[in-house]
């Protein structure tokens, strides 16, 4: 007497359909959770701008030379300077001129939407006492995330907000 045992090879149609549905569901959950993965860029860029504005203020106070930040929204960059627009401050961390370019690096594709400071100018400047003549704001955006960086007049206090 010969007994044949047939081993099942492969998957049934129902098992295959269940696995495809499960993989599709997990992929959808993963994609939805990844939509905010780069949303930190605008927030990080606004925090960097606030610290750069404060550095310009402290530089003016310690060196007794006017210092500030000039914005170039069309080129997506700003420069932290001392004395004149063409004299960038040296970045204390990287030892390079403080030219923040949003077309490359970690803040790539952050949009410098606008910068409005005294009398419609695109710069904020501090005197040797750390005072600025008037305040203003710059707007940074990445995708749907937008942040405003405000500078108060006279005190030079800088902070960011999410509109």
**How many CB atoms are located within 10 Å of the residue 93 CB?**
7
> What's the CATH code of the domain at 152?
3.55.40.10
Which residues of the chain have a pLDDT value below 50? none
Q: Is residue 13 part of a domain?
A: no
Q: Is residue 131 part of a domain?
A: yes
Query: Could you tell me the residue range of the domain that residue 62 belongs to?
Result: 40-161
Q: Is residue 146 part of a domain?
A: yes
Q: What pLDDT is recorded for position 27?
A: 86
Distances (CA, A) of 151 to 8, 10, 41, 123: 73, 67, 21, 11
Q: Is residue 116 part of a domain?
A: yes
On whether the CB atoms of residues 90 and 98 are closer than 8 A, the answer is yes
Q: Is residue 53 part of a domain?
A: yes
Q: What pLDDT is recorded for position 39?
A: 67
Q: Is residue 88 part of a domain?
A: yes
Q: Is residue 120 part of a domain?
A: yes
Q: What pLDDT is recorded for position 4?
A: 63
Q: What pLDDT is recorded for position 56?
A: 94
Distance CA 149, CA 112 (A): 11
Q: Is residue 35 part of a domain?
A: no
pTM of the model: 0.76
Q: State the total domains in the chain.
A: 1
Q: What pLDDT is recorded for position 77?
A: 92
**How many CB atoms are located within 10 Å of the residue 119 CB?**
8
Q: What pLDDT is recorded for position 162?
A: 86
């Amino acid at each position: 007497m010969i007994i044949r045992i047939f081993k099942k090879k492969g998957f049934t149609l129902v098992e295959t359909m269940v696995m495809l549905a499960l993989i599709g569901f997990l992929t959808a959950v993963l994609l939805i959770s990844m939509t905010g993965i780069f949303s930190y860029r605008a927030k990080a860029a606004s925090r960097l701008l606030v610290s750069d504005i404060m550095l310009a203020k402290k530089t003016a106070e310690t060196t007794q030379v006017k210092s500030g930040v000039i914005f170039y929204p069309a080129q997506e960059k700003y420069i932290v300077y001392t004395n004149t627009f063409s004299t960038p401050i040296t970045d204390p961390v990287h030892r390079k001129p403080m030219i923040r370019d949003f077309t490359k690096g970690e803040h790539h594709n952050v949009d410098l939407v606008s910068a409005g400071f005294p009398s419609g100018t695109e710069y904020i400047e501090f005197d040797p006492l750390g005072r600025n003549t008037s305040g203003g704001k710059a707007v940074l955006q990445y995708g749907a995330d937008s942040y405003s960086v405000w500078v108060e007049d006279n005190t030079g206090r800088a902070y960011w907000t999410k509109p």
